[in-house]
Structures are given as C-alpha cells and as structure tokens.
Amino acid sequence: MSVQPQVRLGINLDHIMTIRQARFTAYPDLKQAIEMVEHVGADSITLHLREDRRHIQDEDIVLAKQVNKSNMNFEMAATGEMRDIALNIKPQDCCIVPEHREELTTEGGLDVVKHQSHIKELVAALSAGNIKVSLFIEPNLKIIDAAVKTGAPVIELHTGTYAGTQGLAQQKELQRIEVATKHAISLGLVVNAGHGLHYENVSSIANIVDMYELNIGHSIVARALFVGLGQAVKEMRSAMDCIE
C-alpha cells in the first residue's frame, strides 16, 4: 500500500505584520514569528511584498531570508521592481500573483493566457537566479496549459472560491480543484494550493492526491489570538503588578 506523503504547510506571515503596520510599532517581531512557526514544524514561510507595502516591508524580506531556516516563498506581483528585489534576495521560491491596489487580499488568479509572454520572461529571469517559480492561478485547465508553456515548475491553485462557498457549490469547486490538480500533475507540474483555508475547510484540500503544499495565513493568525489572548492578558496584569 502506498502512503501519500504529508502535505507541506507554508505559513503566510503577512497578517502578523499588518498588526505592526497598523501602529508602526516594533512589535510583533518578524524574526520571533519566523522562529516560532518553524519551531513547530512550518515547512515554509510566505511573505507578500505588496506595491503599497501595507504589511511586509522591504527590510522584512531581507531579514526573513537571513533568519529563515525552512524555505522562503516570496509572493510578488509580475513587475520589474519585484523581479529585481527577488533576484537580489534570492528566496528559494517565488509565487507570482495578480495584484490590484484597492483589493483587500489577492483576488482571483493570474491570467496566464492573456499575459503568457510577459510571465514566461519573468519565469525565465527568476529561474536563471535559481528561484523556483510558482504561478497563483484558478483551477482552470486552459490556464494550467498556459502555465506549463511559461516554464514555471509549480502552480498554486486559488482556493478562494472553494472557501467562499458552501454545500453543493463548494463540492463542485472541490471537484474542479481535484480535476485541475490531476491535470497539472499529468503535465509534470508541482501543485500547491491556498487562500481562505481554515480549520473547518482545510482537510478536503489537504487530502487531494499529490497535493504538495498548502499556504495558509489569515485563519492561523486569527486562531492564534484565541489560543494566546488569555496568556497575553495575564502577562499584562503581571507587568502592571510588578513592584519597582
């Protein structure tokens, strides 16, 4: 009986940094966050340096590469600025995502059919820098076929629609992701997935045959509040009660 290897867990740290950027404080500390998630078994860390720098900052990327002991996945828009930053920092992985200024979070996947030649050039430049490139795309067979033509070895399937639906609609989307995964693997791609995954909806995606890695951020940071809020209050009480 063959045993399916454990799906890797990549932790997206953007939302921890959103808290820091809301006040421009020195905390929460990125180095501490990286060390903590790696200590408990994160296989990879993801940071998305957005054009508007709303959470991760340029210096965070440098620091993350220095302290990261697992694997660093640099999420980036398909721009020359981001390509140059990636080639300078040299993370192990880059995930190319679409980016729109006003969006709350990454909405939809890359339109690889429309932007195939631009993405192909970008993949070639990053690959020449020894970076493994992944394309964040919808679970759509035509887009997967276009992704193969860009030379990217990895795709990350957008699970946002799956996460945002329920019942029959969610089952249909799950099937679409399963079919897309099988198709991509038959073409030699490595398949990751992510976006909107949380504790209740993750297992169906994690159980897809040959799924390589899931990238998850928001739900973990949200859950961390309630796993840690009581302790944080106790520590503040004790700091207040400390006699000098």
Active-site residue numbers?
Answer: 48, 75, 195
Kindly tell me which of 136 and 146 has the beta carbon lying closer to ligand PXP: 136
Nearer to ligand PXP, 61 or 240 (CB): 61
Longest dimension (CA), the chain: 67
CB count within 10 Å of CB 121 equals 14
Minimum distance from CB of 193 to ligand PXP (Å)? Answer: 8
- Closest CB to ligand PXP among 126 and 234? 126
Q: Which residues pair with 44 in a beta bridge?
A: 10
Q: Are strands 190-194 and 213-216 parallel, antiparallel or unpaired?
A: parallel
* Separation of first and last alpha carbons in the chain: 64
| Least separation in angstroms between CB 87 and ligand PXP | 20
Q: Choose, by CB under 6 A, the member of 17, 49, 95, 152 that binds ligand PXP.
A: 95
Q: 122's torsion region: left (phi>0), alpha (psi -120 to 50) or beta?
A: alpha
Residue in 156, 173, 178, 213 binding ligand PXP, rule: CB under 6 A:
156
Q: Per CB under 6 A, which of residues 163..222 are in contact with ligand PXP? A: 194-197, 215-219
Question: Cα(131)–Cα(123) distance, rounded to whole angstroms?
Answer: 9
Binding to ligand PXP in span 96-135, by CB under 6 A: 97, 105-106
At its nearest, how many Å lie between ligand PXP and the CB of residue 188? 21
Shortest separation between residue 114's beta carbon and ligand PXP, angstroms: 18
DSSP E strands in 123-200: the ranges are: 132-137, 154-158, 190-194
Does 55 sit near ligand PXP (CB under 6 A)?
no
Total site size for ligand PXP, rule CB under 6 A: 19
Q: Residue 153 to residues 53, 60, 149, 219: CA-CA distances in angstroms?
A: 28, 26, 10, 28
Residues whose CB falls within 8 Å of the CB of residue 89, separated by 6 or more in sequence, listed in order: 61, 62, 65, 74
- Which of residues 20, 48, 55, 83 is near ligand PXP by CB under 6 A? 48
Between residues 174 and 197, which has the closer beta carbon with respect to ligand PXP? 197
Rounded CA separation 237/154 (Å): 48
Which CB sits closer to ligand PXP, 34 or 197?
197
The answer to whether residues 177 and 204 touch, using CB atoms and an 8 Å cutoff, is no
Instruction: Give the interface with ligand PXP as residue ranges (CB under 6 A).
Output: 12, 14, 48, 75, 95, 97, 105-106, 136, 156, 194-197, 215-219
